[in-house]
Structure 1
Amino acid sequence: MSESSICQVRATVMQYDDGNKRWVPTGEGGQAFSRVQIYHNTVANTFRLVGRKMQGDQQVVINCPIDKRLKYNQATANFHQWRDARNVWGLNFCSKEEAILFADGMMHALEVLSAHADSGYSSLPRPVQNGPSPEELEQQRRYHSHDFSWGWGGADVLVSVSRGEMKVLL
């Protein structure tokens, strides 16, 4: 895979517990710092956010795709949040500088995704085509197929010639 890290910070990864109306740290071991990175897949032009605990087994505490519709909120200087399809996520940064670095990375990812979507091209790589293009197929069809009509004894007749066969369409 062609992924590269565009930003790396230290933060506590949090999820909002809607039932208890409070933020809770993700993963085991409570409120420990994680190494949080934004990765860019240059082939597919996609981004994702990955966080691993810095202590112990380096447990993955978040692996979240970044979508152009993501609503990113810098709630405070040290706490930023966003929502995906299932969760509300938050990062409690160890410093304002780390928060600024992460915000710059996130805004860059969102700008790239929005600009790419606005260009009218799919974010998926184009498949390699074996054989004639759609334009070439249309040219071949037109070359080998002719439709004509004429009047004959008061009745209109439509004739279609395709691949050497003539069909009379009334």
Structure 2
Amino acid sequence: MVEQSICQARASVMVYDDTSKKWVPIKPGQQGFSRINIYHNTSSNTFRVVGVKLQDQQVVINYSIVKGLKYNQATPTFHQWRDARQVYGLNFASKEEATTFSNAMLFALNVENRHTCTH
């Protein structure tokens, strides 16, 4: 598997808790910034979001970007997307890092949405 990072940013990884109607850290007690990368697998032409906690290097998110994913830039520094089970959010350290990430995400979605084969 040949993967390369197409962007890197610092953000807090959140999920929306339907019960409390609040954004909470993706893993309980795991507040703080993570290093978020979008990786491109050049052999299968697929993408994934990987977040590693800056504090302890723990993987907090490893999410495959799929065709049809709805990505929303809710604010200049808070972006979100959803799947059938969960709403994910990234609270970026700066507008510049958010812009870098969103450009890479939109590129990945454009590639995924042009895929005609299934995987």
Q: How far did 1:31 drift?
A: 2.0
After superposition, residues 19-38 of structure 1 pair within 5 angstroms as 19-27=19-27, 29-38=29-38
What residue is the counterpart of 1:81 in the other structure?
80
Q: How far did 1:89 drift?
A: 0.2
Q: How far did 1:19 drift?
A: 0.8
Contact 1:38 / 1:47 at 8 angstroms: preserved in 2?
Answer: yes
List gaps (5 residues or longer) in structure 2: none
Q: Which structure's relative contact order is higher, taking Cα pairs within 8 Å and 6+ residues apart?
A: 2
Q: Percent identity?
A: 62
Mapped partners of 1:59, 1:31: distance in 2: 12
Contact 1:46 / 1:123 at 8 angstroms: preserved in 2?
Answer: no
1:31 aligned partner, one-letter code: Q
Query: TM-score scaled by structure 2?
Result: 0.94
Mapped partners of 2:113, 2:30: distance in 1: 36
Q: How far did 1:123 drift?
A: 5.0
Residue 11 in structure 1 maps to residue 11 in structure 2 = yes
Matched pairs, number: 119
Contact 1:44 / 1:123 at 8 angstroms: preserved in 2?
Answer: no
Mapped partners of 1:52, 1:113: distance in 2: 24
What residue is the counterpart of 1:116 in the other structure?
115
Of the two, which has the highest radius of gyration? 1
Mapped partners of 2:84, 2:51: distance in 1: 18
Q: How far did 1:35 drift?
A: 0.3
Residue 95 in structure 1 maps to residue 112 in structure 2 = no
Query: TM-score scaled by structure 1?
Result: 0.67
Mapped partners of 1:12, 1:96: distance in 2: 14
Displacement over 4 Å in runs of 4+: none
Q: Secondary structure at the match of 2:14?
A: strand
Contact 1:15 / 1:89 at 8 angstroms: preserved in 2?
Answer: yes
Q: Secondary structure at the match of 1:103?
A: helix
The CA RMSD over aligned residues, in Å, is: 1.2
List gaps (5 residues or longer) in structure 1: 125-170
